[in-house]
Amino acid sequence: MPVSTRATVRSRTENGQNSQQSGEADVSPTRGLTEFEEDGTRDEVDVHQPMGLRQMQDLVDNQPLSTEQLRILTDRIQELVKARTGKRAHEDSDEDDRPRKRRADHDLKYNNIKELKIGATLKAWSDWRIEIQRAFDASPYKYDNDCTKVIKALSHLDEDSKTLWNNRVRTNPDDEYDWEAFITWLNDTIRDQGNDEVTTQIEWFKARQRFDQTLWAFDVYLTSLEHEMEPKGERTRAMEFFSRLRPSLRRAIRLSGINPLPQTRQAMLSLATRMWEEIKHDEKDPRKEKLGNENKISSKANSSTSTTQSSSSKNTNHSSNTKNKTEKKAENKSWRSKGPKEFASGQNDKGERICFICGSIEHIASYHRGRIAIILERTIRETSSKKRSQAFTSSKRPRVERRSRTTSQEGLGLNRLVRFGKRVRLPFSPEEEPRMRTGDYLRTMGKLNVRDRDPEDVEIALDTCAEIDTVGVEFVKQRDPKPYIKEYPKLW
């Protein structure tokens, strides 16, 4: 090797060694050629072994090398010198004066990474791992050590995950900036919370294309689950993808006549996408159909409920009306219960018709109700002859004229009598039959009309009431209904 070549190699070494460089430049190129082993052979030099810059310079200066060995060592020295000075290997020597950029200036900032939470889905976990690795690849000089990797990953975890990692660091300080320890802890803490093998199998078994889910989104979701499972062949993955598509889409693919079906997942996805673009507008939203069915069921239930309620209300009203009618009948016939039990049948031992109250064969139970009207008629006639025609009207429900309050005994008794008495009317007028028989009069006393009635008829009727003659006369004389009400409360 010429002396000028060796001097050129030495000139590219570290600065500050000019004296040593000038001394070594005078060394004969044949130095060391006389060094032989005892057996007469020369030592072989391995120029490919790991060596430092000084060691390679010593070999070039002091060892007899072949042309190939010297070329290899020269290239290695040049690359190492350029690496130390920050100059790339492919840069020319005429660009040495150009200002060099720092290594950090060549990094790409990649911060579009979603926050990872405890119990995240398998897809979220897989996406997070891919995004973190992409951030490391975008800045290889920045993330060339475990410390920066751990700090970057922690910045994209939620607060609970950071707290758990801090608790682990307190017990294991050596793992704080150990990337392998961090990723292992992340697998055990976050991933296994909801993404173990059993959960993955269940999610994969239930995976079906939704109505509003595109085919590529469904493929991404299904692939993220399959990455956590045992690897399968392409044909198996294609058929599994086909079996999980929408029923209408599977039907369209079968009716298309394509035989055989695509044998790879990507080909199956392409075919399904083309078919889906043609039939997706005819697809009905199952959620709306389900909602419509629920509305129909609820409307039917409401209608049946309303029908049941109306029928029950009708039945209730009918039963209440029946009950009211029964009560009214019981009130109207309450006088029957006041008679002795032996008269309750309405017949005596001979089979003759008798009164329910007194057992008389001359009259019936309505006779006793008529006595009230008789006494009322007589009292009104004797009390006020001027207002006799205004006491009761001839309408269906006779209206009784209200009398002004008075402190006299007569007025008080008359007011009570009018207020508590039964207002009934008789369809016969004095012009039709001035003198009725007593029996006919008593039978129709339930429809008594006291207006313009002959007083003699009242006297005759009153005389026939033998069992209450004394009470009736006293009642008429005193104009006080209390004794009569006390004696015959139900009749009043």
- Give the residue among 50, 90, 51, 63 at the shortest CA–CA distance from 6: 63
Token pair belonging to 232: 């399968």
pLDDT value of position 325: 60
pLDDT value of position 453: 47
pLDDT digits (tens, 9 = 90+) for 293-330: 666 666 666 666 666 565 555 555 555 566 566 555 55
pLDDT value of position 30: 36
End-to-end C-alpha distance for the chain, whole angstroms: 154
Pairwise CA distance, residues 227 & 312, whole Å: 63
Helix (H, G, I), strand (E, B) or coil at 116: strand
Pairwise CA distance, residues 147 & 156, whole Å: 15
355 within 8 A of 365, measured Cβ to Cβ: yes
Q: What are phi and psi of 347, to 5 degrees?
A: -135, 150
**146-154 vs 179-186: helix axis angle to the nearest 10?**
30
Dmax (CA) of the chain: 182
pLDDT value of position 56: 85
Pairwise CA distance, residues 191 & 182, whole Å: 13
Token pair belonging to 46: 């391995």
Token pair belonging to 377: 């008629």
pLDDT value of position 384: 52
Q: Which stretches in the chain have pLDDT values below 70?
A: 1-43, 85-106, 191-196, 284-345, 356-357, 362-492
pLDDT value of position 39: 42
- Give the residue among 182, 195, 192 at the shortest CA–CA distance from 156: 182
Token pair belonging to 66: 């072949």
165 within 8 A of 100, measured Cβ to Cβ: no
Pairwise CA distance, residues 328 & 237, whole Å: 85
pLDDT value of position 230: 82
Pairwise CA distance, residues 120 & 111, whole Å: 20
pLDDT value of position 328: 57
pLDDT value of position 258: 85
Judging by beta carbons within 10 Å of its beta carbon (0-12, 13-18, 19+), is residue 272 exposed, middle or buried? buried
